[in-house]
């Protein structure tokens, strides 16, 4: 289990427990409750504990937690380190961090086979002098905000609605690697992002994005005009002329512009890209 110290360690703090995939509005309620007790951090998993594609990778999640005020984070390999532990053994692990308080969501489950619930957590922690805070459900339109729903929205390309529930933009991050070079040939150079195999990507299409303070057009898919075979994430940063090859970048995905289209002529594609750029700049 690895400790990431942002501003401090776990001793005497409140520790937040959960997958926290997406770090959405419901998760942030847990963090807010923990922060009322003083310093807080979180126990994370290196990959989604249910084996699903991740809204946020571990590195993306760590960066966001730091911005939200976490003092530290612990990252565990769920399959190797925690999956087989009984509820009692799991709480022993938590106690070893010397925390004062545990903060969880209303529907939190733990231990082998998700045997433990909030009531059992309170009972086991009480024996070790650890307080337990249970955050109330965060509802949107009378429905609990859940990672499952947000994951479905992203898959369907409904990024603006996903962002509203996340309370921050859905992001794609990774190293810029060599692509096919088609964008440069067309006059619109793109950064080809090497995306984690665990990352949840939206459906194929063209998206409005931002890299830093610059607007961007983001293409997710196989570039049907060029009959590419591999799915890629390519980003054209408006007004950016620097060579980004080998650099790590983070793209905020704001909204979906359109489907991918196969054009018969390159000139038609160039004209469409110009329209895409004008649309994200608010021009007519």
- Pairing state between β 248-258 and 205-211: antiparallel
Helix (H, G, I), strand (E, B) or coil at 34: helix
Burial (CB count <10 Å: 0-12, 13-18, 19+), residue 60:
buried
pLDDT in the model for residue 242: 78
pLDDT in the model for residue 284: 40
234 is catalytic: yes
Residue 41 and residue 116 in contact, taking contact as beta carbons nearer than 8 Å: no
175 Cβ contact partners less than 8 Å away, ≥ 6 residues apart: 193, 194, 246, 247, 248
Mean pLDDT per 10-residue interval, the chain, length 284 residues: 94 97 97 98 94 95 97 96 96 97 97 96 98 97 96 97 97 89 71 94 96 94 69 90 89 95 82 89 54
Rounded to 10 deg, the angle between the 87-95 and 118-126 helix axes is: 50
pLDDT in the model for residue 231: 87
CATH of 169-280, one of 2.40.30.30, 2.60.120.680, 3.30.1330.10, 3.30.300.30: 2.40.30.30
pTM score: 0.91
200 Cβ contact partners less than 8 Å away, ≥ 6 residues apart: 52, 53, 54, 55, 151, 154, 155
pLDDT in the model for residue 10: 95
pLDDT in the model for residue 282: 57
Burial (CB count <10 Å: 0-12, 13-18, 19+), residue 246:
exposed
Question: Do 2-144 and 169-280 agree at the fold level?
Answer: no
Residue 22 and residue 147 in contact, taking contact as beta carbons nearer than 8 Å: yes
pLDDT in the model for residue 96: 97
Looking at domain 2-144, what is its CATH homologous superfamily?
HUPs (3.40.50.620)
- Write down the domain spans for the chain: 2-144, 169-280
Residue 24 and residue 167 in contact, taking contact as beta carbons nearer than 8 Å: yes
Of the listed 81, 234, 241, 278, which one is catalytic?
234
pLDDT in the model for residue 182: 62
pLDDT in the model for residue 202: 97
């Amino acid at each position: 289990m690895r400790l990431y110290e942002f501003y401090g360690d776990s001793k005497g703090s409140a520790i937040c427990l959960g997958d926290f995939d997406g770090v959405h509005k419901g998760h942030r309620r847990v963090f807010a409750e923990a922060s009322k007790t003083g310093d807080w951090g979180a126990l994370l998993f290196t990959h989604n504990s249910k084996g699903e594609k991740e809204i946020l990778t571990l590195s993306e999640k760590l960066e966001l937690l730091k911005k939200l005020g976490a003092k530290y984070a612990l990252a565990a390999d769920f399959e190797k380190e925690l999956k087989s532990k009984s509820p009692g053994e799991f709480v022993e692990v938590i106690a070893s961090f010397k925390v004062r308080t545990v903060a969880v969501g209303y529907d939190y489950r733990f231990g082998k086979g998700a045997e433990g619930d909030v009531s059992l957590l309170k009972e086991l922690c009480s024996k070790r002098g650890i307080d337990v805070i249970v955050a109330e459900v965060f509802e949107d339109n009378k429905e609990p905000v859940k990672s499952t729903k947000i994951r479905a929205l992203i898959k369907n390309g409904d990024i603006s609605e996903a962002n509203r529930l996340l309370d921050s933009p859905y992001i794609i991050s990774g190293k810029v690697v060599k692509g096919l070079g088609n964008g440069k040939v067309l006059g619109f150079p793109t950064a080809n992002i090497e995306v984690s195999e665990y990352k949840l990507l939206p459906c194929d299409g063209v998206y409005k994005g931002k890299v830093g303070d610059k607007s961007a057009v983001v293409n997710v898919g196989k570039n049907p005009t060029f009959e590419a075979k591999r799915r890629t994430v390519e980003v054209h940063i408006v007004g950016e002329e620097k060579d980004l090859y080998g650099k790590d970048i983070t793209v905020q995905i704001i909204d979906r512009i359109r489907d991918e289209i196969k054009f018969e002529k390159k000139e038609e594609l160039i004209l469409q890209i110009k329209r895409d750029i004008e649309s994200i700049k608010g021009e007519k």
